[in-house]
């Protein structure tokens, strides 16, 4: 039986650690391969948040209740990803609320503990996703906005830094534009949208292993995210292993957080306190 990071999402802001980046990771869709991913996180002493639908309308399998309890018992955060992995912009408000509320309630029944975090399927909140997350009392709601090395201005629109996926530079530019641009994110984009020789996995490894240094310079938060089924499909397990090793080497154990911990004081933005 493996165990997660001994940090387990607790929060300390020791003066001597303020220059070290904060590390958080999050993983979407609740695929059974998340168990393999959790083993890798635990091996590196890294925490993680897993966002899980009860069912996946795309047909991909979802972890069973016993497997979710195994993750939670090891100290990983389990968050909601709607009931059926529905993209909220495509739904009427009442159905979007039902998907968010019922998905969380079902997870709480399985786990026997509160579920406080949410992730928007596809990263899209639509017209009312953020308001519903607040109405339903979620502590945070994660998006797929990338290129951020800070906690963001609002925990109900939590950004990320990089996905474990071999994006082309054009996709990163689109992500930058879709989420409002910004000079700080442009610096991150220039750090991430590199070209070079070698196969995509090698280039992605070079980018991800350089991220801790960029995080320390550009804001202090490194947020890696992805899907275990995509990591499997693209053969990216060695890439993830090296990325986690580099991130763990740059962050003290007490700075390796769940998304929930990142959304709470002392790490939450001032406007959310």
| Residue 8 included in any domain | no
Which residues span the domain enclosing 30?
Answer: 20-272
Q: Which residue has the tokens 């009427």?
A: 92
- Whole-model pTM: value is 0.89
CA 31, CA 85: separation in Å to the nearest integer? Answer: 12
CA 8, CA 253: separation in Å to the nearest integer? Answer: 10
Element (H, E) at 80: strand 77-80
| Residue 12 included in any domain | no
Task: Kindly indicate the confidence band of residue 266, based on its pLDDT and cuts at 50, 70 and 90.
Answer: confident
| Residue 4 included in any domain | no
**What's the CATH code of the domain at 241?**
3.20.20.370
CA 13, CA 3: separation in Å to the nearest integer? Answer: 24
> Which pLDDT tens digit goes with each residue over 146-177?
888 889 899 999 999 999 998 777 777 677 77
| Residue 192 included in any domain | yes
CA 3, CA 48: separation in Å to the nearest integer? Answer: 12
pLDDT at 54 over 70: yes
Q: Indicate the range of 82-91, 166-175, 242-251, 260-269 predicted with least confidence.
A: 166-175
| Residue 3 included in any domain | no
| Residue 147 included in any domain | yes
| Residue 9 included in any domain | no
Number of structural domains, the chain? 1
Return the percentage of the chain with pLDDT > 70, whole number.
Answer: 86
| Residue 226 included in any domain | yes
Element (H, E) at 98: helix 93-111
User: What is the rounded average pLDDT of the residues 119-140?
Assistant: 96
């Amino acid at each position: 039986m493996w165990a997660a990071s001994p940090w387990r999402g607790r929060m300390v802001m020791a003066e001597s650690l303020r220059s070290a980046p904060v590390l958080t990771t999050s993983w979407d869709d609740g695929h059974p391969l998340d168990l393999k991913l959790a083993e890798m996180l635990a091996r590196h002493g890294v925490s993680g948040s897993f966002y899980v639908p009860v069912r996946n309308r795309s047909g991909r399998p979802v972890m069973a209740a016993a497997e979710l309890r195994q993750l939670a018992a090891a100290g990983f955060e389990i968050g909601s990803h709607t009931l059926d992995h529905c993209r909220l912009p495509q739904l009427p408000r009442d159905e979007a609320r039902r998907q968010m509320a019922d998905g969380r309630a079902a997870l709480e029944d399985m786990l026997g503990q509160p579920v406080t975090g949410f992730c928007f399927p596809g990263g899209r909140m639509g017209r009312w996703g953020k308001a519903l997350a607040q109405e339903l009392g979620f502590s945070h709601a994660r998006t797929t906005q990338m290129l951020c090395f800070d906690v963001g201005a609002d925990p109900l629109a939590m950004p990320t830094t990089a996905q474990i996926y071999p994006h082309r530079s054009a996709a990163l530019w689109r992500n930058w534009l879709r989420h409002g641009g910004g000079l700080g994110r442009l610096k991150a984009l220039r750090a991430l949208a590199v070209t070079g020789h070698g196969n995509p996995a090698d280039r992605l490894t070079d980018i991800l292993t350089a991220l801790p240094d960029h995080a320390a310079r550009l804001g202090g938060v490194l947020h890696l995210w992805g899907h275990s089924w995509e990591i499997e499909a693209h053969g990216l397990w060695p890439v993830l292993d090296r990325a986690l090793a580099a991130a763990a080497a740059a962050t003290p154990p007490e700075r390796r957080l769940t998304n929930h911990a990142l959304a709470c004081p002392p790490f939450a933005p001032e406007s959310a306190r």
